[in-house]
């Protein structure tokens, strides 16, 4: 009798599994049912905003519902993250963020946002290297020449686009590895930081390649090196930092799209497939080229692992550089 009951229970359980899978699949089939809100943590006109709008257009076409951009700037992107983390996890509220996604939780611990718990990455979208630029009047024309110059002069002033920004963290990483004496000067944004490098009020700025390329082409700045592992297609004649003598140096600002942590897997999977399909379109690739960016399609698991690894890496830079914690 006990054996019969055991067999019956086993059969029942086996019947439940395909039913649960089928129900899970249906969640993705019915999605979306209304407009999708894509929260962006920076103001209109930023590269993060521009990429979110480009992706939003493609997702509107593939999903059949409007993707509405909602710019929510503040606290280094943390206000938007908090808002997205607390949203209904049904796939109709998403977050589009830069690599500050893995920086902000370190700098604003009181806001209690945990990217492992509160979010599920859908895919990376793109990445952009920085380029070290200086004024032509300063003298150095290569990274080696600049390092020699900086060490002979003592304390070095360099500009960045604000505490916790990618231009700040890449600068701190560079200063830690070169052991240069330095003073980082925060500015309201990247345009102001670049202007002071051009005018030689500071010696160095780590500009996003897409932002700096026009100034490089017209000779207003000297490009010393790019921070990515490989040379940038936007500045193919500029060597990498690693090629210039700092083996292993690699830093890029990246962009991703994420959902609240409890969003059903079929919805996350559907979104990821559509994002990766959009990144393969020729017009999307051409637009990324004009920004000095490259597409970075990933599965949800790959993107989640990447963001968490960056969280650990950037956290070490923040601690070593003694970046102020709010």
Structural domain boundaries in the chain: 28-127+253-320, 129-226
The arrangement of secondary structure in 129-226, i.e. its CATH architecture, is 3-Layer(aba) Sandwich (3.40)
Query: Considering all CA atoms of the chain, what is the largest pairwise distance in Å, rounded to the nearest integer?
Result: 93
Q: Is 129-226 the same fold as 28-127+253-320? A: yes
Q: What is the pLDDT of residue 28?
A: 63
CA–CA separation, 295 vs 164, rounded Å? 24
Mean pLDDT across the chain? 90
> What does residue 295 show for φ and ψ, rounded to 5 degrees?
-70, 145
Q: Is 80 exposed, middle or buried (0-12, 13-18, 19+ CB in 10 A)?
A: buried
Per residue in 2-37, pLDDT (tens digit) is 444 344 344 444 444 444 444 445 656 789 999 999
Per residue in 191-247, pLDDT (tens digit) is 899 999 999 999 999 999 988 999 999 999 999 999 999 999 999 999 999 999 999
Correct CATH for 28-127+253-320 of 3.30.750.24, 3.40.50.720, 3.40.190.150, 3.40.50.300: 3.40.190.150
Q: Reply yes or no on whether the pLDDT at 38 is more than 60.
A: yes
Q: What is the pLDDT of residue 8?
A: 37
Q: What is the pLDDT of residue 26?
A: 60
CA–CA separation, 217 vs 78, rounded Å? 35
């Amino acid at each position: 009798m006990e054996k019969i009951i055991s067999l019956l229970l086993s059969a029942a359980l086996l019947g439940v599994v395909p039913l649960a899978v089928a129900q899970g699949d249906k969640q993705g089939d019915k999605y979306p049912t209304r407009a999708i809100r894509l929260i962006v943590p920076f103001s209109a006109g930023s590269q993060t905003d521009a990429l979110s709008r480009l992706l939003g257009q493609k997702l509107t076409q593939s999903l059949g519902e409007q993707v509405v951009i909602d710019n929510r700037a503040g606290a280094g992107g943390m206000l938007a993250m908090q808002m997205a983390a607390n949203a209904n996890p049904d796939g109709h509220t998403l977050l589009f963020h830069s690599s500050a996604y893995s920086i902000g939780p370190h700098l604003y611990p009181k806001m209690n946002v945990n990217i492992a718990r509160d979010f599920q990455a859908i895919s990376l979208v793109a990445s952009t290297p920085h380029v070290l630029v200086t004024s032509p009047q300063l003298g150095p024309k290569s990274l080696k020449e600049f390092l020699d110059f900086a060490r002979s002069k003592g304390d070095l002033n360099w500009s960045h686009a604000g505490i916790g920004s990618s231009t700040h963290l890449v600068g701190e990483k560079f200063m830690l590895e070169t052991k240069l004496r330095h003073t980082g000067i925060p500015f309201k944004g990247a345009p102001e930081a670049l202007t002071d490098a051009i005018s030689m009020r500071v010696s160095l700025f780590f500009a996003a390649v897409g932002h700096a390329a026009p100034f490089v082409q017209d000779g207003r700045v000297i490009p010393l090196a790019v921070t990515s592992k490989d040379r940038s297609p936007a500045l193919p004649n500029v060597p990498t930092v690693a090629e210039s003598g700092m083996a292993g140096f690699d830093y890029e600002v990246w962009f991703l799209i994420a959902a609240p942590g409890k969003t059903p897997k079929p919805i996350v999977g559907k979104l990821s497939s559509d994002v990766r399909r959009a990144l393969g379109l020729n017009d999307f690739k051409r637009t990324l080229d004009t920004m000095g960016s490259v597409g970075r399609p990933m599965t949800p698991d790959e993107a989640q692992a990447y963001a968490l690894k960056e969280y650990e890496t950037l956290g070490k830079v923040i601690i070593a550089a003694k970046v102020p914690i709010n």
